[in-house]
Amino acid sequence: MSAETLSNTLKRGTGLAIVWALVLILCGIISLALPIMAGISVAIVISILIMISGVIHLTTAAVAGSLGGYLWRTLVGIAYIVGGVWLFMHPVLGLVSFTLVLGLIFLIESVFAIISYFPMRSVGGSSWLLFDGIITFILASLVLAHWPSSSAWAIATIVGVNLILSGVSRLMAQFALRRVAGALA
């Protein structure tokens, strides 16, 4: 593969990633502009995903391989569906729970982002990964320290900021990759 072909392939490949980064930024701005609506919407979407997961557990129970596996998957599927329906019918109460879970997820994400930075620190644009990890750690700390008092608006605000930062970091990484592709040409 010649340098020009590699350069063209890299530029084409980064186009969709740049569009995705811009979509993340736009969704983050919408979430910040409408925090209560966005928070409840997130709670509803998560409840639907939980119900879908329950249906998947039920439909795959037959291939569990044993009676115990079948019963376990069936019970887990029923629990997921019942829990998902309850969360769907009570999205505000679900929002409080999801806020705690989101804080924990952001904490784990931040640790992985910071750890991922160190082997990549010699790569151009990798400092954005460290920046994303540090900011996500700060967001996780804020959510966990003030839970549950600010759950009604915090989840949408934190998701919005996280989406914007993730979009910007991905955008900067793609621009760095395009600069490398330009240097190859």
pLDDT along the chain (185 residues), means of 10: 68 85 95 90 92 94 85 92 95 88 90 91 87 92 87 81 92 87 74
Whether residue 61 is contained in a domain is answered as no
Cα–Cα–Cα angle for 47, 27, 98, nearest 5°? 30
Is residue 136 within 8 A of residue 92, CB to CB? The reply is: no
| Domain presence at residue 18 | yes
The pLDDT, as a whole number, for residue 3 is 59
Q: Is the dihedral of CA 14, 22, 124, 129 positive or negative?
A: negative
The answer as to whether 81 is a domain residue is no
Does residue 76 belong to any structural domain of this protein? no
Whether 45 is covered by a domain: the verdict is no
Q: Is residue 44 part of a domain?
A: no
Judge if pTM exceeds 0.85.
no
pLDDT value for 31: 93
Q: Provide the number of structural domains found in the chain.
A: 1
Q: Do the domain assignments include residue 55?
A: no
Q: Rounded to whole angstroms, what are the CA distances from 74 to 47, 69, 84, 157? A: 19, 8, 15, 37
In-domain check, residue 51: no
